[in-house]
Amino acid sequence: MSNVYDFTVKDRKGNDVKLSEYKGKVLLIVNTATGCGFTPHYEPLQAMYKDLKDKGLEILDFPCNQFANQAPESDDEIHEFCTRKFGADFPQFKKIDVNGETADPLFAYLAGEKPFEGFGKGLKMAALNKFAEMNNKVFGDKAYIKWNFTKFLVDREGNVLARFEPTVEMDEVRKAVEEAL
């Protein structure tokens, strides 16, 4: 694959969506969960989407249940939760795996383009690292994503610019998105 536009994913109803439909847009691709300590990221994500959609931003939401069973609901239940609680109206796709033999090829590609470099420093980061290490032992060298709310920034040509772990402040993510726009 040469860039993100070469991938096809499933919308939450199971229909194919070619990411080439997003050509010319800046993308923020996120794996999410409804029961995670980082679930409140939906609020600044929605605010960013509302403010920057008309400038060419699309946020692509991929729920995942591979981290401590934090997204066990159906695709419809996840969508209902996100729209009701956070007003999220950016595209939400079918729940996927991001690690292991069943990992969605898009996320394997994204992680290959921008590998994990750590959660940062501090107690919160150390605790998350411990949970991630336990979880990732299951997936070995196919543990592409370390936790929920990992975000990948993609430019208007489909190239991966940056990876943001869930511990990165959302203000920093927004600043990078604004620069890419």
Please give the positions annotated as active site.
Answer: 36
Question: What end-to-end distance do the CA atoms of the chain give, in Å?
Answer: 24
Strands 151-154 and 26-32, by their bridges, are antiparallel
Cα separation values, 75 from 33, 79, 114, 154, 158, Å: 11, 6, 27, 25, 26
Helices (H), the chain: 42-52, 75-86, 105-113, 123-136, 170-180
CA distance 173 to 165: 10
Reduced to 3 states (helix: H, G, I; strand: E, B; else coil), residue 125 is helix
CA distance 138 to 149: 19
CA distance 54 to 128: 35
